[in-house]
Amino acid sequence: MSESEGNARKNSVLVVGGGIAGIKSALDLAEAGRRVYLVDKKPALGGFLPLLDRQFPTNDCNICYVTPDIAKAGAPLDIQSLPLTKVTGLSGEPGDFSATLATEPRCIVLDKCNACGACLEVCPESAVRFTPGLDHKSPTCLRYPQATPTAFSIDLTKCTRCGKCVEACEPGAIDLDMAASQQTVGVGAVIVASGAELFDPTPMQEWYGYGKFPDVVTSLEFEQIMSSAGPTGGQFMRPSDGRRPQRIGWIQCVGSRSTKPPAKPYCSSICCMFAMKEAVWAKEHYAQDLDATVFYMDMRPMGKDYELYYQRVKNDLGVNFVRCRPHTVGRDDVTGDLLLEYASEDGSSQIARLDLIVLATGFCAPNDAKEQAKALGIELDPYAFVAAADFDPVATSRPGVYACGMALGPRDIPDSLVQAAAAACLASQDLEPGGALMSEDSLPPERDTRDEDAHIGVFFADWSGRVSQAVDLKKVMAASANLPGVSHVQELVISGGQAGLDELVEAIKAKNLNRVVVAGYSPRTHGRLFAETVRRAGLNRNMVELANIRDQSAMVHSGDPVHATSKALDLVRMAVAGVTLAQPIYSHSQPVEQSALVVGGGVAGMTAALALAEQGVKVTLVERAKQLGGLALKLKRTLDGQPLVQQVQDLVAKVQAEEGVRVITDALVVDHEGQAGAFRTGVQSGPSMYYQKVEHGVTILATGARQYQPTEYDYGKSDRVLTQLELEDLLAQGDASDPRLDSVVMIQCVGSRNKQNPTCGRICCQNAVKNALWIKDLNPEAQVIVLYRDMRTPYRAEDAYRQARERGVLFVRFSEDDPPSVGQDQDGLMVSFTDKVLGRRLTYNPGTIVLSTPQVADDEAMEELCEIFRLQQTDTGFLLEENIKVRPGDTPAPGLFAAGSILAPKSIAEARTQGLAAAGRALTLLAQHSLTVSGGVAKVVAERCAACLVCVRACPVNVPFINADGYSQIDPAKCLGCGICAAECPAKAIQLMGYTDDQILGRTDALLEGVL
C-alpha cells in the first residue's frame, strides 16, 4: 500500500445503504472533511423517503429540505456514490479495513443518459427500471427528481437483448454488454445503514384480502394514490372501479406484533403515525367528509410531540379511532363494499363497511440481511436486524463497524437521522483527526467587474420538470434574451451532483459573463449554492440572483399556464434588474475555535464531551449539580434489563480522567455572546460565584429534563405509593421477601397525556415493563398489575411486554375519563379501576402502588437557558429544534446543537445516541476551521451621514456608533444585516449590501416597467 493510499484509508468511511440515514451519515462525514463511499444495492440512492408523498408530523414534503444539502454550499463534498453495489467482504481492523465491493452492471452509461425515458417506452419486457406507480417494490419513481444518479438502469434478468432500447437511445447511453465489476476500497470505518424492507402482506391474503381485493392496498400504495404525480394523476380514486372512496379504514399492525409467521412479533414503531398522516392528508386534501377510521390495538405516537398530533387528529380533524383486533376482510359482491370484521374491546364481533382498506404494514429486515452481516462480520438480532448494545446503541458487535437507521430496527426519520449523525461521529473516531476543508485559497482569484458593462447570463434550470409543466419556458427564455444587459441565455441541466453546476461555471467563463441570473429555484434553499458556484467561476458571490419561478410561479399557478408564464418573465426581469445593480460583497472569514462548550453533565452531555475530546476538541463541560451524571444516576437498569449503575459511573470516571475535558460542576451559565466559531459564554461556579468567560467554537446543550413529581394518587401521603424510580431503588436492594413487592399495581401516564402535560412520556411504558419483569425475577409469585392507556413498547420492547404477560403480569386498560382511584380502606392501601371486559369497577389492596411519571421540561431552567442562548421552547417546554423532522438536534442558531432530554423525554440509549450525534454535528462545523462571515451588512456613506443617531437608536444589536470623524460607523463583523438602519436613515447614507435601495427600486421598476 502506498503512503497516500494509507492516508486515504485513514480518512475514509464506507457507508452501506443510501437511504436517508446513509445519506445523512455520508453528508456529516463529508462535511467534516472525510471521504465517503456510499454504496446501495439499488440503482439510485434515496431509500424510502422518496416514496413518501409527505411526512408526519409537519405534513411537509421534506425531500426539498434534505436534498439541497447534497451539494452543500457548492463545496465539492467527497462522496463517491456506488449504486447497484453490495459489500462482499470486510477484513482488517478499525482504522484499517479493506472492503470488497461488487457492482452489478447498469447497462447504461451514466454520463450519457439524460433520463429521457425513450428506452422505457420501447422495452417489451419492462426490463428498464424506472417505474413510477403503485408497485411498491419498484426501486424508484420519477417523483423523486433528485434521484442520484438521474439515470435509468436495465434489469438484465428481464432483458431479452432485443436491442430496441439501444436503437431508441439518442445519446447512445445503453451498453448491454456492460460487465459486473468488483473493487476493493480501503476505509477506516464502516457504517451500516442498509435499512429495512416493507412487510409484504400477500401471504396473509386469507385474513386481509390483499391481492384478492384490489381495494385493499398497503399504506405505501395509498401514498401513491394520493400523490399528484402518482398513477392516478392526482385523482383520488380506488383501484377497483375508479370510484372516489368515501369510507376508508386503516388496519394497524399488519405483519407486526403477532407471533404467527410470517408476521413479526415486534412493533414496527412508525406505522401508527404513518396511518394517521395518511388519514389526515386524505381528509384535508381530497374529501373533508371522508369517513376515515383507524382500527388499532394501541396507538403508539411516541416521538417528540407526536401525542399532540394524535390528539389533534382524533379531536379536531375528525379521524375515527377504533380500538379492536381486526381479523378478516371480506367483500359484499353486490355493493362492492369491503367488510372488515373485528373484535371490539368488550369482546363482541363487529363488521365495518368500507370502500378502501389500507394495511399499515410493518417493516422487516432486508432479505439479504444475513448475507450482508456475514460479509461485514457483524451479529444480527433475532429478527435479523443489526444487533447493538443498549449503552452503545449504534455500535455493532465488530469494532469499527457502526449502524444506524432502520438497519437497527424500525424507527422514524428523526431517530434515524440522530443515529446517522452518531454513527458518523463514532466512525470519525477510528480515523485520523480531520483536516481542514476547502478554503478560500483554493478558489480562483475574484474578478473585479465593477467597471464592466453588464454581461448577464440567464440560466434556466428545471430540476424536476415542475417548471416546464406550468410555464412556457421557451417563451420566457426568448423574452429574457431581450432584457437589457442580458448577453446569454442557457438551459441548465442540474441534478444532485456537480455536473450542472460545472456547466454553469464553464458558461460564465466561456461567455465572459459578469452577472448571472438562475431561474428555477428559491434563493432560500439554493441561494448559497449558486453564490458559491459563481464564486468558483471567479465572480463575486453577490453577482448572482435567483428568479424563483419554480416555487413562486410554476408551483402556485400550475393551473394557469398563461399567467404562470408571464409572471415567470416578470420574476426574471426583476432578477435581471436586481443583478444589474449588484455590487460585490466581500465576506471575510474568521477562524473557528477548535473547542466546545457542553452544558449539562448527564449521559448525553458526557457522551458528547467525550466524543469531541477524542477527536482532539477541547471541551468545557458545565454541570449545574455538584457531580456529573444527571438523571441516570437514579436509574439502576437499562430497558433490556442490563445493570446500569456501573456503566454510568464508568462514564463519569472516564470524563473526569479525560484530559481534553475540563469539568466545571456546581456551575451556572449566565451569559452568552458571539457567533458560531467564536462564542464567549459566562459561567459562574461555586458559592464564590467565580465568574469566567469560556471561549468556544461550538455549543452543545444537554441540560436534560426533570422527573415529574406527582401530586396524584396519594403520592406523598402514603409511603406505599412510589414512583418507578423509587421502585427501582427498592428492587436494587434485591430483597425478595419484602412484603411491599408481593403485590404491585402500576399506574401509567401519571402526569402525562393530560391537560397539564399533553405529551407522552415515551419511555414510561418500557420502564414499567422492565420493573414488572424485575419484580417477577425477584419473586415469581408476586402479583403485578399494570393499569395503562396504551402500551407503547416499540420494536423489541414489545418482546418484553409479551414476556411480562406470559409471566403473569396483568395489563388492564383504563381510559382518560375513567382513571383508577387510590385510597385507604379497612384493608389498607386500596386501588380501584374499571375492568373493560367485565364492565365493572374492581377494588384491590396491593402492597405497593407505583406511578409511572414522565420526564418533563424544567420550565424555569429552560426559560432561562433559552433566553441566554436566544432559543425557543416548544409548547410543552422542551427545546425547539431547527426542524424536528430533518434537523433533529440542530437548533436554529448556527453552531448550537442539543442532545438528550432537553429536546424530549429520552432513554439512556437515546441520550447516548443523541450525545454522539450532537458531537458529530459539532464536528462538521469545527472541520471548517474558518467560517465565512457574510459581507451582506450595512455600509455607511460617510459624506452623506448627518450623524443624526437614528441608526444608533434603531439597531437591534447596538452596532452603529458615531465615530471620531463624526459619522456613523458599523462593524461588519457584528452587523446582522437586517437593514433596519438603512430604512430609517433620513439622509439615505446607509445601504445594506445585497439589498441596496438601487437594487430594490430597480426590481420594482423592472416589474412595473411599461405599466404607466
**Beta 96-103 vs 515-519: how paired, if at all?**
unpaired
Between 116 and 987, CB nearer to another protein: 987
Residue 554 carries which DSSP code? I
**Residues 973-980: contacts with CB under 8 Å, at least 24 apart:** 973/588, 973/590, 973/933, 975/937, 975/938, 976/937, 977/934, 977/936, 977/937, 977/938, 979/938, 980/954, 980/955, 980/956
Name the one residue in this structure whose C-alpha cell is 483527526.
433
**Least Cβ distance, residue 948 to another protein (angstroms):** 4
**Least Cβ distance, residue 581 to another protein (angstroms):** 13
Q: How far apart are CA 344 and CA 696, in angstroms?
A: 59
**Least Cβ distance, residue 355 to another protein (angstroms):** 25
**Least Cβ distance, residue 858 to another protein (angstroms):** 10
| Nearest one of 691, 679, 566, 576 to 931, comparing CA atoms | 679
**Least Cβ distance, residue 726 to another protein (angstroms):** 23
**Least Cβ distance, residue 947 to another protein (angstroms):** 8
Which grid coordinates belong to 168?
A: 431508441
Between 563 and 836, CB nearer to another protein: 563
Between 812 and 976, CB nearer to another protein: 976
**Least Cβ distance, residue 519 to another protein (angstroms):** 14
**Least Cβ distance, residue 706 to another protein (angstroms):** 13
| Nearest one of 513, 523, 502 to 74, comparing CA atoms | 502
What's the gap between Cα 480 and its chain centre? 39
Between 698 and 989, CB nearer to another protein: 989
Residue 868 near residue 875, CB atoms below 8 Å? no
Name the one residue in this structure whose C-alpha cell is 418484553.
800
| Nearest one of 707, 796, 800 to 786, comparing CA atoms | 800
Between 240 and 522, CB nearer to another protein: 522
Name the one residue in this structure whose C-alpha cell is 503512503.
3
Between 81 and 548, CB nearer to another protein: 548
**Least Cβ distance, residue 544 to another protein (angstroms):** 14
**Least Cβ distance, residue 700 to another protein (angstroms):** 18
**Least Cβ distance, residue 955 to another protein (angstroms):** 9
**Least Cβ distance, residue 453 to another protein (angstroms):** 25
Between 1 and 556, CB nearer to another protein: 556
| Nearest one of 262, 221, 266 to 408, comparing CA atoms | 266
Residues β-bridged to residue 843 = 832
**Least Cβ distance, residue 994 to another protein (angstroms):** 8
Between 261 and 559, CB nearer to another protein: 559
**Least Cβ distance, residue 164 to another protein (angstroms):** 37
Between 61 and 162, CB nearer to another protein: 61
Between 20 and 574, CB nearer to another protein: 574
Residue 63 near residue 144, CB atoms below 8 Å? yes
Residues β-bridged to residue 598 = 621, 700
SS3 804: helix
Residues β-bridged to residue 526 = none
In 702-820, which ranges are E strands? 706-707, 721-723, 743-747, 783-788, 810-813
Between 657 and 1012, CB nearer to another protein: 1012
| Nearest one of 760, 713, 638 to 298, comparing CA atoms | 760
Q: How far apart are CA 734 and CA 755, in angstroms?
A: 37
Between 401 and 989, CB nearer to another protein: 989
Between 423 and 937, CB nearer to another protein: 937
- DSSP letters, 92-158, are EETTEEEEEEEE---SB-TTT-----HHHHH-TT--EE---SS-TTSS--TT-TT-SS---EE-TTT
**Least Cβ distance, residue 547 to another protein (angstroms):** 11
Between 410 and 605, CB nearer to another protein: 605
**Least Cβ distance, residue 868 to another protein (angstroms):** 7
| Nearest one of 540, 536, 549 to 575, comparing CA atoms | 549
Between 559 and 739, CB nearer to another protein: 559
Provide φ and ψ at 554, rounded to 5°.
-55, -45
Residue 281 near residue 226, CB atoms below 8 Å? yes
In 465-592, which ranges are E strands? 486-492, 515-519, 544-547, 588-591
**Least Cβ distance, residue 946 to another protein (angstroms):** 4
Residue 180 carries which DSSP code? P
Between 571 and 763, CB nearer to another protein: 571
Q: How far apart are CA 559 and CA 449, in angstroms?
A: 41
What's the Cα-to-Cα distance from 531 to each of 32, 68, 231, 372, 544, rounded to whole Å? 21, 13, 38, 42, 6
630 φψ region: left (φ > 0), alpha (ψ -120 to 50), beta (else): left
Residue 853 near residue 710, CB atoms below 8 Å? yes
Residue 748's CB is within 10 A of a number of other CB atoms, namely: 28
Between 158 and 524, CB nearer to another protein: 524
Instruction: Mention every residue, 6+ apart, whose C-beta is less than 8 A from residue 77.
Output: 27, 30, 31, 36, 70, 71
Between 41 and 567, CB nearer to another protein: 567
Name the one residue in this structure whose C-alpha cell is 424536476.
464
Single-letter residue type at 468: S
**Least Cβ distance, residue 386 to another protein (angstroms):** 35
- DSSP letters, 582-644, are ------EEEEPPSEEEEE--SHHHHHHHHHHHHTT-EEEEE-SSSSS-GGGGG--B-TTS-B-
